[in-house]
């Protein structure tokens, strides 16, 4: 006996990649470089170890679901400063909850937002296609139908939720938006954010804005949904924003993030999480508080990503549809056949990348997978390793295209 909704999910992309590469050996004498996973490898800030050690007495306590006042206050102050919010816009006690990383919170949000039925129909969840895998998992396991909205070159690599049919919008319970987007690196501008927020309010669904790449940007700091709400001037109704230290501070193992938004939803989320949510241990929360309060390490982090994107631009030039991502640290390269390219790169160059097909699903009349011709390349290693990998990648793919 098991929950047969699980059958609606594919294996996770990294398992699919492992299956694709079974029996393929990288060339002897060439050091393998893994660029398939978005796991930042920049050194963690020194602040982390110092604050963890200084708060070791917290290991003996269960952390409260609401976290510490220091954490909530620091997160609210960070959001206020970063997104230029009015002073009283966020109440740390009513609008902010800590999360043990956002992945788990993004998954659990579906249990919070999806009712058994919506307007007499099966609830729907809008999401971009390609998408972060947790979105489909969360929707399917909560009994909702995922509606995959193309986020392809022709749509500016963002989903146009206003183009969804009225019938589907009427049964939509929530919509995931990823900005900056994984894998495409696109940023939704303030007008696009406001349009989505208005749509959510008009059709009474929850907009889940996944902003965990917001601090890794190329030129301008990406706007966020909190900022769009403040400019709309109607509070935070129907909006939840998720953000995390994993990418901002290069600490994916720390498991530290937050959700901020609609006070009513935050109160209900707190009730749900008291039953089954993982909360950051108190020493972790103290370390995370210190990291949210510091921008110097984030600046250094961003500079390093920019330098690597510059190397990528120099090495790849205009090959494979290369463009500088506005945010995040992925290259989304059009190589014709992503699976074949991933096999070739592993076999010939010892570089592991992720086929774009594993980040998307077949949709539309032709049942086409919008990621099929792409690979996703994570620029997470140091500059030298990243540049070496990109040089090998460009040589190998150029040779196979001739």
Ligand X SMILES: Cc1ncc(COP(=O)(O)O)c(C=O)c1O
Using CB under 6 A, list all residues that contact ligand X: 38, 101-103, 106, 132, 178, 182, 210, 212, 244, 246, 252, 257
Q: Minimum CB separation from ligand X for residue 25, in Å?
A: 28
Calpha distance 394→260 (Å, rounded) = 41
Is 102 or 186 the residue whose CB approaches ligand X more closely? Answer: 102
Is 212 or 229 the residue whose CB approaches ligand X more closely? Answer: 212
Is 127 or 169 the residue whose CB approaches ligand X more closely? Answer: 127
Contact call for residues 87 and 80 (beta carbons, < 8 A): yes
Q: Minimum CB separation from ligand X for residue 365, in Å?
A: 28
CA angle, residues 345, 347, 351, in degrees to nearest 5: 40
Pairing between strand 257-261 and 239-244? antiparallel
Q: Which residue has the tokens 């393998």?
A: 32
Q: Minimum CB separation from ligand X for residue 245, in Å?
A: 7
C-alpha gyration radius of the chain? 21
Is 350 or 379 the residue whose CB approaches ligand X more closely? Answer: 379
Is 103 or 203 the residue whose CB approaches ligand X more closely? Answer: 103
3-class state of residue 333 by DSSP: strand
Q: Minimum CB separation from ligand X for residue 399, in Å?
A: 31
Calpha distance 387→392 (Å, rounded) = 9
Retrieve residue 47's tokens.
Answer: 């602040």
Is 107 or 322 the residue whose CB approaches ligand X more closely? Answer: 107
Calpha distance 235→220 (Å, rounded) = 25
Is 169 or 225 the residue whose CB approaches ligand X more closely? Answer: 225
Calpha distance 45→50 (Å, rounded) = 9
Measured between alpha carbons, how far is residue 380 from residues 45, 101, 353 in Å? 16, 18, 12
Q: Minimum CB separation from ligand X for residue 4, in Å?
A: 27
The size of the chain, in residues, is: 402
Is 128 or 283 the residue whose CB approaches ligand X more closely? Answer: 128
Q: Minimum CB separation from ligand X for residue 284, in Å?
A: 13
Task: List CB contacts of 131: < 8 A, sequence separation 6 or more.
Answer: 148, 151, 176, 178, 359, 360, 361
Element (H, E) at 215: none
Q: Minimum CB separation from ligand X for residue 166, in Å?
A: 29
Omega of the bond prior to 130 within 30 degrees of 0, cis? yes
Q: Minimum CB separation from ligand X for residue 246, in Å?
A: 3
Omega of the bond prior to 101 within 30 degrees of 0, cis? no
């Amino acid at each position: 006996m098991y929950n047969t909704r699980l059958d609606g999910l594919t294996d996770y992309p990294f398992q699919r990649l492992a299956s694709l590469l079974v029996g393929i050996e990288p060339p002897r004498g060439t050091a393998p470089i893994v660029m398939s996973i978005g796991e930042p490898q920049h050194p963690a800030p020194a602040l982390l170890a110092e604050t963890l050690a200084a708060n070791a007495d917290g290991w003996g306590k269960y952390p409260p679901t609401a976290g510490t006042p220091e954490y909530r206050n620091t997160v609210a102050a960070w959001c206020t400063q970063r997104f230029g919010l009015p002073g009283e816009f966020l109440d740390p006690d009513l609008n902010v909850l800590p999360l043990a990383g956002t992945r788990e919170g993004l998954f659990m949000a579906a249990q919070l937002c999806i009712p058994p039925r919506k307007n007499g129909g099966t609830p729907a969840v809008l999401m971009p296609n390609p998408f972060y895998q947790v979105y489909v998992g969360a929707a399917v396991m909560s009994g909702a139908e995922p509606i995959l909205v193309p986020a392809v070159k022709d749509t500016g690599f963002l989903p146009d939720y206003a183009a969804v049919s009225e019938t589907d919008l009427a049964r939509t319970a929530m919509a995931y938006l990823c900005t900056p987007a994984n894998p495409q690196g696109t940023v939704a501008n303030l007008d696009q954010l406001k349009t989505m927020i208005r749509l959510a309010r008009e059709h009474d669904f929850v907009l889940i804005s996944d902003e965990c790449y917001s601090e890794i940007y190329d030129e301008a700091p990406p706007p966020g949904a909190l900022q769009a709400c403040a400019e709309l001037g109607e509070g935070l109704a129907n909006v939840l924003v998720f953000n995390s230290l994993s990418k901002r501070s290069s600490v994916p193992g720390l498991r530290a993030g937050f959700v901020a938004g609609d006070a009513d939803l935050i109160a209900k989320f707190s009730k749900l999480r008291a039953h089954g949510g993982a909360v950051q241990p108190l020493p972790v929360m103290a370390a995370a508080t210190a990291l949210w309060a510091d921008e110097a390490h984030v600046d250094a982090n961003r500079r390093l990503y920019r330098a690597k994107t510059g190397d990528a631009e120099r090495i790849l030039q205009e090959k494979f549809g290369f463009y500088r991502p506005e945010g995040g640290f992925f290259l989304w390269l059009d190589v014709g056949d992503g699976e074949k390219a991933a096999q070739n790169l592993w076999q010939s160059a010892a570089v592991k990348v992720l086929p774009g097909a594993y980040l998307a699903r077949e949709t539309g009349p032709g049942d086409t997978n919008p990621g099929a011709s792409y690979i996703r390349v994570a620029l997470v290693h140091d500059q030298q390793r990243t540049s070496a990998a990109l040089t090998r990648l460009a040589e190998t793919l150029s040779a196979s295209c001739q």
